[in-house]
Chains A and B, each alone.
Chain A
Amino acid sequence: MPMIQSKVEYLFGAPEIEVIAEEPYAKKQCDFLQALSGAIRSDKEAKRYSDIQTFAFWIRKASLMQMRDDYLWGRRCYRMGRGLIFHVAPSNVPINFAYSLVYGLLSGNANVIKVSSRRFVQTVILCRIMQEMVGREEFAWVGRQNAVVLYERDRKDATDELSAMCDVRIIWGGDATITQIRKSPMQPMSTEVTFADRYSFGVISTDAVLKMEEAELSRLAEAFYNDTYLMDQNACSSPHVIFWWGGVNGDRRKAAQKRFWRAVRQAAQKYGLEAGKVSDKYTLLCRMAEKLEHARVHCYENRLYVVDLQAFSDSVTAYRGAYGFFFQYGIKELEELFEYVDDRKIQTCAVCGVDPGELAEGIRAHHIRGIDRIVPFGHTLDLGMIWDGYDIIERLTRCIDGPRASEARFREDRKR
């Protein structure tokens, strides 16, 4: 049984890790996550954190069953977890470690998760709830097969040990983090899933915005707020450039843009615009002046900066804002989009009034290397079992070639 020798702090679990490979979505994993969902929702302390509640909602029964069905439908062969997963959780999204744990559990693996030494209160709360649950006989295995550890970033000894021990390593980015962690070697058979720095953008149909009722527009603006401001516009999936599709007559496009940004400014009134953010944002704007030589900026106070681009003098991914700082560019045909987004750094394309299927067709027809996701505005932050272009279950399991998983077996598995 693997035993962690490095001196690290255990927020959950213990140094000894029991590794038993399971099949994905095994009953005991699903039962545990459902119970965890319930425990979170009735926990007084956890109630105060909307990110913990969103997480609990994601692992509620109906949602898990849907994920399981999606998996079983697509299954062509039997799969088993690879063994032990070492996760390096990010240091600026407190709840993220929990999603990573779910990836590991649902794929049938044992897990060691390194969380940020910033010791987020959300992490502490969730670990406490889980620790309380493993006191129950039926969930004791969770405590034996999983650990949440905390140590300082410069503790290479600990990262070395956990990397040498694991079958799969998951690194939640920052490119710098990935480069750093990769200095610790893994066993030859081990594999890795990395979530690097990515870039995202949006496409909005001019007509769709012009046709919207006020209430609908407010909903769109709210959705846009959640995609961007909610994470300081610093999530990999937060859009930076908005392509306005259609409205060949410039006036129509301008009217749609005005309408949209006014609604966004309204939605962004609740954003905590502190002096530190304003300073960063204003500095970023001034620093981009050279690149924006022919552009025009609209400032809605310091809450919202929108830059009208006449052309791209650099790769799209170089147009990156923060704290509510966007760029916009008009296109006549959807097809024109593909000139700009052929870059593997591009992750999410958020859409409004655009058919995702048509975009996917375009990606295929134009042999585009970018765009891993096409989702409506408001859903860019929805983490799922497919993320960043990876089918998570596929990445964290091995495939047993030969016997086919029959439809009869599907129905049987579904009944469990």
Chain B
Amino acid sequence: MELDEILEIPPFSLEREQKQELLTAALKRLTIFHQNHCKAYGQILRLLHADPQNAAQYEELPFLPVRLFKEMDLRSVPKEAIVKTMTSSGTTGSAVSKIYLDKATAANQQKALVKIVADFTGRSRLPMLIIDSPAVIRDRRMFSARGAGILGFSILGSERKYALDSNMQPDWNGILEFLEKHRGKRMLVFGFTAMIWEHFYKRLSEQPARIDLGQAVLIHGGGWKKLAGEAVSPEEFRERLHQACGITEIYDYYGMVEQTGCIYMQCQCGHLHASVFSDVIVRRAEDFTVADTGEKGMIQAVSLLPGSYPGHSILTEDEGVILGEDDCPCGRKGKYFRVIGRIRNAEVRGCSDAYDSK
């Protein structure tokens, strides 16, 4: 099946066997394509003795460590075909991932994202409040993960309002005006977890009017790392936002800039779901064998979308656990899982690099 056709399949409709068959065929094809079109990727596959042609299951296909995208330029199409370069936001000082997109890959990412989110918010486009600054998306040639996320999601809005100004200050008047205009209507609120907490939730108390988001659906992602310092748990995040502005429908999602589009949305049962466009495999650190359901391990993410760069099968630096498959009470088919967090950086012994680095 071609990717175009796959993208027409309802994202949470396939049962294990059908999905396995679909993924195996498509990922084999992708692996062979990248092997032949990205020299560095081909060299890695040779070194790993990978034999995509003869893989019986997509679990047997090779995977690239995600950090490689920070250290190498990996592309499978000519330079001229690149229309967008996405970068991970990356903590200060560290290297950033560079993801090269051609027209088709960029379009497919958008398509997949819309399909996945629509399964949660409904098909019609909604007025959308973006908890971020429009400054983030200004340079369209170089996208940060944040910018890409906002731009990707903004297509779901019928009308868009940025809640923060270019100095990351809340534009309360503008927000109230927007809410007034769409009073009583279902609405979409989107933002990154840390931004929502830091620049929206924490500032709510400084203006007298009540911001009522009782009718809104909040979708947020980007991880909990930045909030870990403040020890804000997902439960507390939901509870506090609910109390502050009446919002009840809150969906967290898991995703990565290396596989934009294929996000993993959290359902009302608190489970992250893999769509038919992608999947997660949890592997044991000891030997990369596939972990059992319920067993913690390293998360490998596969996606059918990356056509312009070999990012269709990557080993993330996150740990997680598969909770089940096809039987989530929310009714969605496919694997559902939980992300435990980033794997701990190795504390290296030895005598080189001895200068304190905190």
CB of B48 within 8 Å of the partner chain: yes
CB of B287 within 8 A of CB of A172, answer no
With A93-B349, A231-B349, A233-B350 as given contacts, are A302 and B287 in contact (CB-CB < 8 Å)?
yes
CB of A289 within 8 A of CB of B44, answer yes
CB of A187 within 8 Å of the partner chain: no
CB of B354 within 8 A of CB of A173, answer yes
Partner of A275, one of B68, B285, B350: B285
With A92-B349, A173-B354, A174-B355 as given contacts, are A274 and B46 in contact (CB-CB < 8 Å)?
no
Complex Cα–Cα for A174 and B43 (A): 32
CB of A276 within 8 A of CB of B355, answer no
With A235-B351, A290-B40 as given contacts, are A323 and B356 in contact (CB-CB < 8 Å)?
no
Partner of A172, one of B319, B354, B358: B354
CB of A289 within 8 A of CB of B40, answer yes
Complex Cα–Cα for A153 and B348 (A): 18
CB of B356 within 8 A of CB of A118, answer yes
Residues of chain B lying within 8 A (CB to CB) of residue A278: 285, 298
With A274-B344, A277-B346 as given contacts, are A236 and B352 in contact (CB-CB < 8 Å)?
yes
Residues of chain B lying within 8 A (CB to CB) of residue A197: 352-353
CB of A92 within 8 A of CB of B71, answer no
- A276, A290, A292, A293: most-surrounded residue (chain B CB, <10 A): A276
With A274-B344, A302-B288 as given contacts, are A279 and B354 in contact (CB-CB < 8 Å)?
no
- B48, B287, B288, B348: most-surrounded residue (chain A CB, <10 A): B348
Complex Cα–Cα for A137 and B356 (A): 36
Partner of B65, one of A233, A286, A292: A286
Complex Cα–Cα for A92 and B64 (A): 29
Q: Name the interface residues of A183-208: CB closer than 8 Å to any CB of B.
A: 195, 197-198
B138 CB to closest chain A CB (Å) equals 33
Complex Cα–Cα for A277 and B317 (A): 11
CB of B356 within 8 A of CB of A117, answer yes
Q: Whose C-beta in chain B lies nearest to the C-beta of A280?
A: B346
Q: Name the interface residues of B95-109: CB closer than 8 Å to any CB of A.
A: none
CB of A29 within 8 Å of the partner chain: no
With A117-B356, A275-B343, A279-B315 as given contacts, are A286 and B68 in contact (CB-CB < 8 Å)?
yes
Number of interface residues of A (CB under 8 A): 53
Complex Cα–Cα for A235 and B47 (A): 27
CB of A96 within 8 Å of the partner chain: yes
Residues of chain B lying within 8 A (CB to CB) of residue A174: 351-355
Q: Name the interface residues of A279-322: CB closer than 8 Å to any CB of B.
A: 279-280, 282-283, 285-290, 292-293, 295, 297, 301-303, 322
Q: Whose C-beta in chain A lies nearest to the C-beta of B352?
A: A197
Residues of chain A lying within 8 A (CB to CB) of residue B286: 273, 301-303
Interface string of B286-314 (1 = CB under 8 A from A): 11100000000110000000000000000
CB of A283 within 8 A of CB of B351, answer no
CB of B67 within 8 Å of the partner chain: yes
Residues of chain A lying within 8 A (CB to CB) of residue B343: 274-276, 279
With A195-B351, A276-B345 as given contacts, are A289 and B356 in contact (CB-CB < 8 Å)?
no
A91 CB to closest chain B CB (Å) equals 4
Q: Whose C-beta in chain B lies nearest to the C-beta of A229?
A: B349
CB of B351 within 8 A of CB of A172, answer yes
CB of A323 within 8 A of CB of B352, answer no
Complex Cα–Cα for A79 and B48 (A): 58
A298 CB to closest chain B CB (Å) equals 10
Partner of B67, one of A117, A231, A234, A279: A279
Q: Whose C-beta in chain A lies nearest to the C-beta of B343?
A: A275
With A116-B356, A176-B353, A292-B47 as given contacts, are A276 and B287 in contact (CB-CB < 8 Å)?
no
Partner of A289, one of B47, B298, B348, B352: B47
Residues of chain B lying within 8 A (CB to CB) of residue A285: 47
Q: Whose C-beta in chain A lies nearest to the C-beta of B70?
A: A283
CB of A323 within 8 A of CB of B346, answer yes
A123 CB to closest chain B CB (Å) equals 13
Residues of chain B lying within 8 A (CB to CB) of residue A195: 351
CB of B72 within 8 Å of the partner chain: yes
Complex Cα–Cα for A117 and B356 (A): 7
Partner of A232, one of B67, B288, B350: B350
- A174, A303, A323: most-surrounded residue (chain B CB, <10 A): A174
> Can you list 18 pairs linking A and B with CB atoms under 8 Å apart?
A90-B351, A177-B355, A231-B350, A233-B350, A234-B348, A234-B352, A234-B353, A235-B349, A238-B350, A276-B345, A279-B67, A280-B346, A282-B315, A283-B68, A283-B71, A289-B40, A302-B286, A303-B286
A-B contacts besides A279-B67, A292-B47, A323-B346, 19 pairs, CB < 8 Å: A92-B349, A93-B351, A93-B354, A153-B355, A173-B352, A174-B352, A230-B349, A232-B346, A238-B350, A273-B286, A279-B343, A282-B315, A283-B68, A289-B44, A293-B46, A297-B47, A297-B48, A302-B287, A303-B287
**Interface on A for B, CB 8 Å cutoff?**
90-93, 96, 116-118, 152-153, 172-177, 180, 195, 197-198, 230-236, 238, 273-280, 282-283, 285-290, 292-293, 295, 297, 301-303, 322-323
- The 4 A-B pairs at the shortest CB distance, nearest first, are namely A234-B350, A90-B354, A301-B287, A177-B355
